Amino acid sequence: MLMDTFNDKWRELQQHSVEVESSHLRDLFASDPKRAESLSLSACGLNLDYSKNRITAKTRTLLMDLAQSAQLAEKRDAMFAGAPINNTENRSVLHTALRQQDSKPVLVDGVDIMPQIKAVRLKVEAVVNQVRDQQWLGYSGKCITDVLNLGIGGSFLGPKIVTTSLKPYVQGGPKQHFVANIDGNHLHDVLTNLNPETTLVLIASKSFNTQETLTNAESTRQWFYDYGVTFEQLNRHFIAISSNVSKAVAFGISGDNVFPMWDWVGGRYSLWSAIGMPIAMAIGNQGFTELLKGAADLDQHFKEAPFEQNLPVLMGMLGVWNHNFFGCQTHALLPYSHYLRGFPAYVQQMDMESNGKSCQLNNEIVSSTTGPVIWGAEGTNGQHAFHQLLHQGTSVVPVDFIQPLVAEHNMNGHQDMLVANCFAQSKTLMQGKTHQQAYDELVASGMEEALAKVIAKHKAMPGNRPSNTLTFDRLTPYQLGTLIALYEHKVFVQGVIWNLNSFDQWGVELGKILGDDILSRIGQPNSTERSDSSTELLLAQYRDANKS
């Protein structure tokens, strides 16, 4: 990063933000009837209207200059080329190779990884076909009716959310179940409704070392044993997807049933690998191929489009603008789509595990804030829950509204209402309501003037609250691929600006270690070891509640 130029550009943006702060979005729209035309773009079937951000054309230029000075183009190219940009683990970051449409070599340590990717994909396709065509039989000769997916974090959210999002495309395959949580209630409830003879278990764990996944896998294996299934027969019922092949084999899964992953795929970027097998089981191999194609097209767009017409660059830089120059600490994703209801949780993990960091690539602590809190829920439900705060609360929360334009149903009137609600929310956030407007309305409705003055204070809404609206025709596998890749690259862009390694996650380690310590203390009530007084108090309560 050319630090001096970068700092100059940052300062320019700071000065510019003071100018922009004095104008209201309402006025910016009134003074330029073509504002939406100049501050929107379409690519890969996605339309982004970013005109409802507190920006001018100059802001966009300055933000793009900042991206340039952070060497975004060079860093993006280094990622695609397989440079070890995950510097704390000395790893390449190549989820993009998993969806590359041609066989152009991609080198890791001088070895072309494309043949391995192809081989694993063909193997996944073969198993998916066998299961979906009812040729994969359980130990007692019955075909598979249910797939139980065990995994957590990136080994869970991608397959789960994609499968949910593409419900209209889920046809013909076995029923999918996902269990991530160590809370035995979930596994218990799911297993209660399954039959071991017709259940296939997919253990998804890159490390094959994750407490939740291994414990759920062991309990599920025991469930098979309790039913009378032998160790040898488990072969017909367990598949693993992992980069720790030997550990998966030691668990009892035959080598043939272990699908490899690689160090150069981060967990939260892994749905494009064999980790995505549940998606292919649900929608078929053709649908999975289209999902990959959508992501690949977005990759191409990210690589080739000039910054000002580049969806992930624009979304990333607008996020930086709102977060670093207007102090917005959180960012909401509001899909107006029942099928996309899980999408905020998916992006939450991808974004917060990637950029929730304070130490820069140069090993220095950041001087700006990084990684906004990502949250959200589907519209219109959120309107009756937290939108009150979005409109009148003291925190400004930038929003991404996400709206598929064409419905996947024929329920009369629903889609028009859904879309109208979505568009109305961004308009309301943008324009707000002045005290005068509220007062005039109240008086016109017959309220006495003195009271109207008071009540108008409660009804006034500041407006000037930023949002993007992303639309696309239909939520197809292809389009979902583009949408996910868009957010992946947006996160990358922001990581570059904040000078972070977006691909490690050391912050989750200490909690795991302390969790293991505390677990061992639970089983040893007479140990003389002592923890802090709060942990001791909680342990005592736990032991007390569970004493027989």
Which segments within 370-528 are labelled E, that is strand?
373-376, 399-404, 467-472
Query: Amino acid identity of 32?
Result: D
Q: Report the chain's C-alpha Rg in angstroms.
A: 26
For residues 197 and 353, which CB has a smaller minimum distance to ligand F6P in the complex? Answer: 353
Q: Which two tokens stand for residue 385?
A: 């829950």
Any bridge partners for residue 86, and if so which? 91
- 196 closest CA partner among 226, 231, 218: 226
Q: Is 489 annotated in the active site? A: no
For residues 153 and 159, which CB has a smaller minimum distance to ligand F6P in the complex? Answer: 153
**Closest distance to ligand F6P from the beta carbon of 544 (Å):** 31
Selecting among 353, 357, 488, 489, the annotated active-site residue is 353
Q: Name the residue number minimizing CB distance to ligand F6P.
A: 267
Q: Is 353 annotated in the active site? A: yes
Sign of CA dihedral 427, 431, 432, 437: negative
**Where do contacts with ligand F6P occur on this chain (CB under 6 A)?**
152-155, 205-207, 210, 213, 267-268, 353, 505, 508
Residue 90: CA count within 13 A, CB half-sphere = 1
DSSP 8-state secondary structure symbol assigned to residue 91:
B
Are the CB atoms for 116 and 99 separated by under 8 Å?
A: no
**Closest distance to ligand F6P from the beta carbon of 538 (Å):** 23
**Closest distance to ligand F6P from the beta carbon of 202 (Å):** 12
**Closest distance to ligand F6P from the beta carbon of 59 (Å):** 34
For residues 273 and 425, which CB has a smaller minimum distance to ligand F6P in the complex? Answer: 273
For residues 157 and 314, which CB has a smaller minimum distance to ligand F6P in the complex? Answer: 157
Can you tell me whether residue 1 is helix, strand or coil? coil
For residues 297 and 353, which CB has a smaller minimum distance to ligand F6P in the complex? Answer: 353
152, 206, 350 from 209: Cα distances, Å: 11, 8, 20
Residue 279 to residue 19: CA distance in whole angstroms: 48
Residue 487 to residue 478: CA distance in whole angstroms: 15
**Closest distance to ligand F6P from the beta carbon of 353 (Å):** 6
For residues 165 and 273, which CB has a smaller minimum distance to ligand F6P in the complex? Answer: 273
Residue 402 to residue 161: CA distance in whole angstroms: 15
For residues 393 and 515, which CB has a smaller minimum distance to ligand F6P in the complex? Answer: 515
Q: Which two tokens stand for residue 48?
A: 């982004």
Question: What is the C-alpha end-to-end distance of the chain, expressed in Å?
Answer: 62
**Closest distance to ligand F6P from the beta carbon of 509 (Å):** 8
Are the CB atoms for 216 and 185 separated by under 8 Å?
A: no
- Would strands 330-335 and 399-404 be described as parallel, antiparallel, or unpaired? parallel
- 176 closest CA partner among 289, 285, 278: 278
Residue 122 to residue 133: CA distance in whole angstroms: 16
Q: Which two tokens stand for residue 71?
A: 């060497």
Q: Write a three-state SS string for 256-313.
A: HHEEECCCCCCHHHCCCCHHHHHHHHHHHHHHHHHHHHHHHHHHHHHHHCCHHHCHHH
Q: Is 509 annotated in the active site? A: no
For residues 5 and 207, which CB has a smaller minimum distance to ligand F6P in the complex? Answer: 207
For residues 267 and 398, which CB has a smaller minimum distance to ligand F6P in the complex? Answer: 267
**Closest distance to ligand F6P from the beta carbon of 31 (Å):** 47
For residue 410, what are the contacts with CB-CB under 8 A and spacing of at least 6? Answer: none
**Closest distance to ligand F6P from the beta carbon of 115 (Å):** 24
**Closest distance to ligand F6P from the beta carbon of 331 (Å):** 20
Q: Which two tokens stand for residue 131?
A: 């299961």
Residue 363 to residue 361: CA distance in whole angstroms: 5
- 482 closest CA partner among 44, 134, 27: 44
For residues 45 and 252, which CB has a smaller minimum distance to ligand F6P in the complex? Answer: 252
Residue 179 to residue 279: CA distance in whole angstroms: 15
What does the CA dihedral 315, 360, 157, 478 come to, rounded to 10 degrees? 40
**Closest distance to ligand F6P from the beta carbon of 182 (Å):** 12
**CB-count burial class (<10 Å; 0-12, 13-18, 19+) for 186:** middle
Selecting among 34, 104, 304, 384, the annotated active-site residue is 384
Q: Which residues are catalytic?
A: 353, 384, 512
